[in-house]
Structure 1
Amino acid sequence: MSINSGLFHSLEGKNIYFKALSIEDVQEIHDYASDKDVSRFIGWNLMNTLNETRELIEIMIKRESEGTHLYASIVQKSTQTIIGTAMIFNFDHEANQAEVGYVFHKDHWGKGYGTEIVTLMSEFAFTTLNLHKLHASVVDANIGSARILEKNEYELEGRLKDHYFIEDKYYDSLLFGKITNLQSRKI
């Protein structure tokens, strides 16, 4: 499997497009990475300073250069502003699968962007990367994220009881998966 970050960064939908992460975009990324409501269920620590966000971006860029992760800034076409981050990671080359993730500014929740983002990532992963399966893990209280996956025909495959401990409370992890409809082949 060859990971082509350039193609990933050039994905485009009706309302959004992807671009490479950049340190120059630290303020726009910090705007949602520093929001407690946004960071609560995504697995990132809350970014309290611009420097913390800069360091996170540097880590993501390094991971991508090492070929272990794909990251892209999500840009809203109508405003040309960065509204989130899309990622494909946890590649399992033997099983030919990976995990998808996404996070975006809460001002853009409930507007269909998440569904569009997952559609773009799924099509890319199945047609360009020739992956057999994609999966995602969602905190059960993150109903919006679960709906995004369901709209993209990801199936609920399981539940891990009390898997996450967030703000002094346990949450279940919902495990979603999608297997390609294409003739899958292991590369």
Structure 2
Amino acid sequence: MDKQAVLFHSLEGEKIFFKELRVEGAEEIHHYASDQEVSRFIGWNLMRTLEETSQFVELMLKRESAGTHLYASIVEKSTQVIIGTAIIFNFDQEANQAEIGYVLHKQHWGKGYGTEIVTLMSDFAFYSLNLHKLHAIVVHANIGSARILEKNGYKLEGRLKDHYFIEDKYYDALLFGKITNM
């Protein structure tokens, strides 16, 4: 595993910390990956069985080994339970930028965890990976995620009309970006 992945897996905040994604954590990940409300707007298919979740974790680990993605399990400090997944992906070496993504168990929505996750990922990307820009794409109905990005200084840069078709309904994609202030 490369140095950057090791650093990403060791990020720590006030209420949460990141750790290496592992197949052994699939059962905890399945608690939110199998929740219709959680998976609805994140770009993952709903995981119906623990086996599906385990296979998806294996796919994520292959992507990380290939160097195309960085993944971390998000752990709540007070319980030591995995409550989400953080992702940095779609690296563009020439433009020196990447995309971020995150998913959080719905029991932990609205408690400041998402804001802390994005802060940790942004600081890591700008100061450890020396990226120039980060972006995130959010389904417009995912108001909580848009708010998290705005709290972290991300600016709405664009809107793609009817970009997503989810549950027989069209949704716009909101494009958020943040440029380093280094």
- Normalised to the residue count of structure 2, the TM-score between the two structures is 0.98
Deviations along 1:117-163, whole A, 9 cap, x unmatched? 00000000000000000000000000000000000000000000000
Aligned partner of 2:90 in structure 1 is: 90
Equivalent runs, 1:145-156 vs 2, <5 Å:
145-156=145-156
Unaligned ranges ≥5, structure 2: none
DSSP-derived class of the 2:129 partner:
coil
- The list of structure 1 runs, each at least 4 consecutive aligned residues, that deviate by more than 6 angstroms after superposition, is none
DSSP-derived class of the 1:45 partner:
coil
Residue identity matched to 2:104: F
Aligned partner of 2:71 in structure 1 is: 71
**How far off its partner does 1:3 sit?**
6.7
Aligned partner of 1:81 in structure 2 is: 81
DSSP-derived class of the 2:147 partner:
helix
Tell me: CA distance 1:3–1:150, structure 2 relative to 1, closer, same or farther (3 Å): farther
- Normalised to the residue count of structure 1, the TM-score between the two structures is 0.96
Tell me: CA distance 1:129–1:15, structure 2 relative to 1, closer, same or farther (3 Å): same
Paired with 1:27 and 1:68, the residues of 2 have a C-alpha distance of 25
Paired with 1:176 and 1:166, the residues of 2 have a C-alpha distance of 20
CA contact (8 A) 1:23 1:58 kept: yes
CA contact (8 A) 1:3 1:67 kept: no
CA contact (8 A) 1:118 1:149 kept: yes
Unaligned ranges ≥5, structure 1: 183-187
Equivalent runs, 1:62-141 vs 2, <5 Å:
62-141=62-141
Paired with 2:142 and 2:118, the residues of 1 have a C-alpha distance of 16
DSSP-derived class of the 2:59 partner:
helix
Paired with 1:131 and 1:4, the residues of 2 have a C-alpha distance of 13
Deviations along 1:85-134, whole A, 9 cap, x unmatched? 00000000000000000001000000000000000000000000000000
Count of matched residue positions in the alignment of Structure 1 and Structure 2: 181
CA contact (8 A) 1:3 1:129 kept: no
